[in-house]
Amino acid sequence: MAALTPPVCNFDWPAPDFSLPATDGKTYRLRDVAGPNGTLVMFICNHCPFVLAILDRMIRDAAELQELGIGVAAICSNDPEAYPADNFENMARTAESRGFPFPYLHDADQSVARAYDAVCTPDFFGFNADLGLQYRGQLDASRMQPAPPDARRDLFEAMGQVARTGRGPADQIASMGCSIKWAA
């Protein structure tokens, strides 16, 4: 399995809007998930070993970031025909069984992943209160295996800085993961 790495953060790039159905039965736009101090949009899926290795930490960090005024949403853009583990029904099961504290959105036509230029799962896009990109890096040093429990919390620290100052760190380590599974 080849791992992909997204490009470095393009500071102040504007967040593309979206309107996507969620596993909770609602439809969300970007403004619905935006927080007063920033917004985190995460491209994930149900089957990727890179996502599975960080899922507990991602849920923890998302909940703690929400307490800092950061809005959070996760989006699955994988082709559900070729990858049935990532279909809407399995997304709903994952969100419920894992207790996602954020909406889990389905990008069935993959237009949102294309608008964001998402590359892999996980791919994190951290925006400030003005919806300008400030972070596109890793959650932590985890790859297909979780990092040690005391690993630096890169995403949490970066988005905490964004919440306080409106700017992300200049130095960022790109995330790594499985490619978005594009429909043919």
pLDDT digits (tens, 9 = 90+) for 169-183: 999 999 999 999 999
The token duo for 171 is 């130095």
pLDDT-derived band at 6, boundaries 50, 70, 90: confident
pLDDT digits (tens, 9 = 90+) for 31-80: 999 999 999 999 999 999 999 999 999 999 999 999 999 999 999 999 99
What is the CB neighbour count within 10 angstroms for residue 74? 27
CA distances from 70 to 4, 47, 77, 127, 166 (A): 27, 26, 22, 9, 11
pLDDT digits (tens, 9 = 90+) for 89-98: 999 999 999 9
pTM of the predicted model over 0.95? yes
pLDDT-derived band at 1, boundaries 50, 70, 90: low
- 103 Cβ partners below 8 Å, 6+ apart? 22, 23, 24, 26, 28, 33, 73, 74
Range from 6-15, 110-119, 130-139 carrying the lowest mean pLDDT: 6-15
Q: What is the mean pLDDT of residues 103-110?
A: 98
What is the CB neighbour count within 10 angstroms for residue 68? 16
Assess contact for 23 and 96: CB atoms under 8 A: yes
Q: Check pLDDT > 80 for residue 15.
A: yes
The rounded mean pLDDT for the chain is: 96
pLDDT-derived band at 13, boundaries 50, 70, 90: very high
Assess contact for 44 and 74: CB atoms under 8 A: yes
